[in-house]
A = this chain, B = another copy of it.
Amino acid sequence: MKCGANIRLLDCTIRDGGLMNNHLFGDDIVKAVYSACIEAGIDYMEIGYINSRRIFSPDEHGAWKYCREDDIRRIVGENETPLKLSAMADAEKSDYREDILPRDQSVLDMIRVAAYIHQIPLALDMIKDAHDKGYETTINLMAVSIVDDRELDEALELLARSEVGTIYVVDSFGALSSEQTQFLLKKYLSYAEPSGKQVGMHAHNNQQLAFANTIEAIKLKANMLDASIAGLGRGAGNCAMELLVGFLHNPQFHLRPILHCIQQCIEPLQEELKWGFGVPYMLTGLLNQHPYAAIQFNDGDDRGDIVKFFDAINEEEHLATKYLA
């Protein structure tokens, strides 16, 4: 497929990848990703979270957990480039009213609100706050693979009437098959299109389907697509930007700067951050659960003993209905 002009790519390397190292990236890495995004023609770079310093201690987390204006400007200056910048605010974990500046005081262009289904009322207030401050907005409704279908319809109805610009299908657990992805995309579009909103896709690679499901989303006319360099992201990671750019054959986007960044800055992080596809993440994806157990396992002494992990995860009582043979 050679894809049209209205596709927008969002790089979430630092924001999602930071979930593997408490956002303790050196400035050199963040600058390298920023430069690569500009050179590659990427539309948006998400530089981190705007989350609460009360909830996440600055003793344990790097600057990109908070995205204070001074920190961002240390990397991007006035960002006089075509690349737009975004930051994500987590429902119940962000002091968004205080910490998100009016847009005319910030180099940020977009605020993305991340929320679980039960946090939709709060998310609506966060969207309104960001919108009224002058930002583009998205809602990233997380863990959609465990959301009840009727509840999802209710949430989408509310979101369709909100100020939000783009509504994201977010496969937090890397659990979605292509059929489920199609089902959700169609549903989201049925609410978004009549109200003039866009639909986005944020995939995880637990079943090696992040790229394939992102393509499914493109086919169905999602036009805001998350990807990260070398797939860097929580657990099994995200859709790899290099795969997406290579596939699109869109003259706006360039592969070489992405590869340069992988080689110089991202690949060297692999040893420490250990993101990417592996059997433990596959198993949490298959069981439609948060990758937390697999991340713990990969950090522990049993790393590599995938049969032990399989047995442990199967034994947990609450999984009885989802036993893997």
A residues near B (Cβ < 8 Å) are 1, 177-179, 205, 207-213, 215-216, 240, 242-243, 246-247, 251, 253-256, 259-260, 262-263, 267, 279, 282-283, 286, 304-307, 310-311, 324-325
Q: Using Cβ atoms and an 8 Å threshold, which residues of chain B touch A263?
A: 304-307
Contact B177 A325 (CB under 8 A): no
Told that A208-B212, A211-B212 touch, could you supply 9 new A-B pairs with CB distance under 8 A?
A177-B215, A177-B247, A209-B211, A212-B213, A242-B282, A256-B324, A259-B307, A263-B304, A267-B304
Contact A325 B207 (CB under 8 A): no
Contact B246 A306 (CB under 8 A): no
Contact B324 A282 (CB under 8 A): no
Contact B307 A260 (CB under 8 A): yes
Q: How far is the CA of A255 from the CA of B254 in the complex (A)?
A: 40
A309 to B: closest C-beta gap in Å: 9
Contact A255 B324 (CB under 8 A): yes
Query: Can you list 20 A-B contacts (CB < 8 A)?
Result: A1-B177, A1-B179, A178-B212, A178-B215, A207-B211, A207-B243, A208-B208, A208-B211, A208-B212, A208-B243, A209-B211, A211-B212, A212-B212, A242-B282, A246-B324, A251-B325, A259-B279, A259-B306, A262-B306, A263-B306
